[in-house]
Amino acid sequence: MTDKNSSSLMEKVISLSKQRGFVFQSSEIYGGLKSAYDYGPLGVELKRNIMNEWWRSMVHEREDVIGIDASIIMHTNVWHASGHLAGFSDPLVDCLISKERFRADKAPRPVSGDELPIECLDKGQAKSYLEVIKKRFNIELKRNGKVLLGMRVIDENNIGFFEDDNEKPSATFPYRGYVSPKFGSPFLSDERQFNLMFRSQIGPIDVLGDITSFVEKNKDLDNKEMRTGIEDIVKKSAVYLRPETAQAMFVQFLNCQQSMSMKVPFGIAQMGKSFRNEVTVEHFIFRSCEFEQMEMEFFVEPGTQKEWLNYWRDKRIDWWKKLANNPDKFRYRAHETDELAHYADACYDIEYEYPWGFDELEGVASRTDYDLKKHSEHSGAKLSYFDQQKQDPETGKNGWRYTPYVIEPAAGVTRGLLVYLLDAYHEEIVPNADGKDSSRVVMKLHPRLAPIKVAVLPLVKKEGLPEIARDMVSNFFKAGINARYDEQHSIGKRYRRHDEAGTPYCITIDGQTKEDQTVTIRNRDTMEQERIPKEDALLIIQKRLMES
Ligand code: GAP
């Protein structure tokens, strides 16, 4: 894929995802829900294969990591202790002209002397915004097509309206240091904190009834008091959908460690759904409100966290690269101090070069002993570890009780799925049956990730060929290999369809099969075909999948 094509790569992948059944817009027939996606017949297989590969490398192949599957709804005190109820929020701002709502910390920040053009969608919108600004702020900006001109940043606290290119502003307004991302408007509301967790109510409590009675009884309260009163009623039965899978591993630290007699260093891993009421959902499935994570909390001795952080950073980036066609598109980046989360003393982002540039795929954080200590404080449980073999560094006595430090590789499943779709998409010019150039789209998914491992295609739908093909498919299933019987359309069309599905091997049953018990096996990437004994097909596919 050339650079010229890369800007449309995203559109091509989105379109192929729908056509071939990888990803659909949620509730599409009702106009769609922008922040949610459904994984179709191929998508669900791809997603599970990514998760299975992660589980294999993070849990099954390691003696020092165990797994759990915790509930999505947890005790509300978990979120008090972790800081999510107090701090898991974004600063939100509204544009007073366009009503655009955005995150202040992600907004563009023009500096002193910069022009502040308001870029409207079309002339009609520009005329209507011109009127609103005139009415509300008593200034008349100049319109050039769909752009409104005349404002400039004076300093970090003020913007000015400069009429007819005058040197002195004829009006000044307070400047927040940023403008709205879509229109470039500096006319903004105050910032409000917005909690990213989805709230629900648990139990047979009539919250609306309780609120109604409270409002009726307290009509004299001012707005703030009324809000606090209502908030108190809601909080009594409030529960939250987890915004990360991580907290369960801290809360179940003792149960896991004791039930499996684990010795530090060891890890607890989990994969599953997380939910965030994201203000900005963007780039297809890159950022959505419902997504899936694969996280592991690795508990280490205090003082060893730096070496373990580097260890997991390298392990994790190697894992992503191993399953990709273009390993050069992955890199890691250390967080600056001001980027670090409140619980972390260091962090790396594993990034991928998406069509819009390098962006996060996985975080590998050194979370210190923050979470275990917080949950100990809030619950009263002693979330610590006793190492009989070590001396306590403070007392010098044998045996050391300490709160382990934590290294956390936290990856997004659905974001990973997007990465592997982008990585797999290839367009090629290849000769067709007549030897003429034709283009083919092929999803070069790693065979371990491919939704269908092998398609079995009878050349014609008669002469006993379908029976032979179905028999072979059933043998693949018995061996745990996802195979697919496919008899629709010409053989050429079927090959192309499976190229787009990312199926690494197609086995064709033809007239010769009945004569000499051989079949052809076609390789997705090279398109080469070889004739093999029918009875060897299973072993050959098994071997190729294992060696891939
Ligand atoms: N426990 C730490 C944690 O959750 P995070 O960086 O917020 O850290 C980890 O999330 C990973 O989860 C991200 O690197 C990303 O791959 C994925 N992720 C986070 N928010 C997401 C969203 N709204 N949509 C899709 N994936 C998301």
405: DSSP letter: E
**Ligand 1 within 6 A of 271 CB?**
no
How far apart, in whole angstroms, are the C-alpha atoms of residue 288 and residue 285? Answer: 6
- DSSP at 30: G
362 lines ligand 1 (CB under 6 A): yes
Closest residue CA from atom 14 of ligand 1: 362
CB-count burial class (<10 Å; 0-12, 13-18, 19+) for 15: exposed
Confirm or reject: Cβ of 415 under 6 Å from ligand 1.
Answer: yes
CA of 119 to the centre of ligand 1 (A): 32
Nearest CA to ligand 1 atom 17: 412
Index of the ligand 1 atom closest to the CA of residue 416: 16
What's the 268 CA to ligand 1 centre distance in angstroms?
A: 18
How many angstroms does the Cα of residue 437 sit away from the middle of ligand 1?
43
Residue type, 450: A
DSSP secondary structure of 64-110? TEEE----SB--HHHHHHHTHHHH-EEEEEEBTTT--EEEGGGS---
- Tell me how far apart the alpha carbons of residues 137 and 148 are, in angstroms, rounded to a whole number: 14
Asked whether 244 lines ligand 1 (CB < 6 A), one says: yes
295 touches ligand 1 (CB under 6 Å): yes
Question: What are the pLDDT digits (tens) for 205-218?
Answer: 889 999 999 999 99
Ligand 1 pocket residue status of 245, Cβ below 6 Å? no
Question: 247: which residues sit within 8 A by CB, 6+ positions away?
Answer: 74, 78, 79, 82, 84, 371
Residue 534, both tokens = 């029918």
Closest CA to 522 of 514, 512, 532: 532
Q: Is the CB of 361 under 6 A from ligand 1?
A: yes
Ligand 1 proximity of 100 Cβ (cutoff 6 Å): no
DSSP for 204-259, written as a single string: S--HHHHHHHHHHHTTT--HHHHHHHHHHHHHHTEEEB-S-SHHHHHHTHHHHHHH
Q: Find the 411 Cα to ligand 1 centroid distance in Å.
A: 6
Close Cβ partners of 68 (under 8 Å, ≥ 6 residues apart): 248, 249, 252, 256, 268, 269, 270
User: How confident is the model over 87-145, as pLDDT tens digits?
Assistant: 777 788 889 998 888 888 889 999 999 999 999 999 999 999 999 999 999 999 999 99
How much is the pLDDT for 178?
96
> What's the 307 CA to ligand 1 centre distance in angstroms?
24
The SS3 of residue 134 is: helix
> How many whole angstroms from 360 Cα to the centroid of ligand 1?
9
Span from the CA of 478 to the centroid of ligand 1 (angstroms)? 37
**Cα 89 to Cα 434: distance, rounded to the nearest angstrom:** 61
From 415, 417, 418, 419, mutation site for ligand 1 pocket: most ligand atoms within 8 A of C-beta: 415
| Shortest-distance atom of ligand 1 to CA 245 | 1
Pocket test for ligand 1, best of 37, 244, 275, 279 (most atoms within 8 A of CB): 244
Answer whether 270 contacts ligand 1 (Cβ < 6 A).
no
Q: Say how many Å lie between the CA of residue 245 and the centre of ligand 1.
A: 10
- pLDDT digit string (tens) for the chain, length 548 residues: 444 455 599 999 999 999 999 999 999 999 999 889 999 999 999 999 999 999 999 999 999 999 999 999 999 999 999 989 887 777 888 899 988 888 888 899 999 999 999 999 999 999 999 999 999 999 999 999 999 999 999 999 999 999 987 889 999 999 999 999 999 999 998 888 788 899 999 998 889 999 999 999 999 999 889 989 999 999 999 999 999 999 999 999 999 999 999 999 999 999 999 999 987 788 999 999 999 999 999 999 999 999 999 999 999 999 999 999 999 999 999 999 878 888 899 999 999 999 999 999 999 999 999 999 999 999 999 999 999 999 999 999 999 999 999 999 999 999 999 999 999 999 999 988 788 898 999 999 999 999 999 999 999 999 999 999 999 999 999 999 999 999 999 999 999 999 999 999 999 999 999 999 999 999 999 999 999 999 999 999 999 999 98
| 3-class DSSP state of 264 | coil
Counting ligand 1 atoms within 8 A of each CB, the residue from 283, 360, 364 with the most, and so the one to mutate, is 360
d(CA 234, CA 237): 6
Cα of 17 to ligand 1 centre, how many Å?
Answer: 22
Nearest alpha carbon, ligand 1 atom 2: 410
Residue nearest to atom 25 of ligand 1 (CA): 287
Report whether 46 contacts 22 (CB < 8 A): yes
Please provide residue 508's backbone torsions phi and psi, each rounded to the nearest 5 degrees: -110, 130
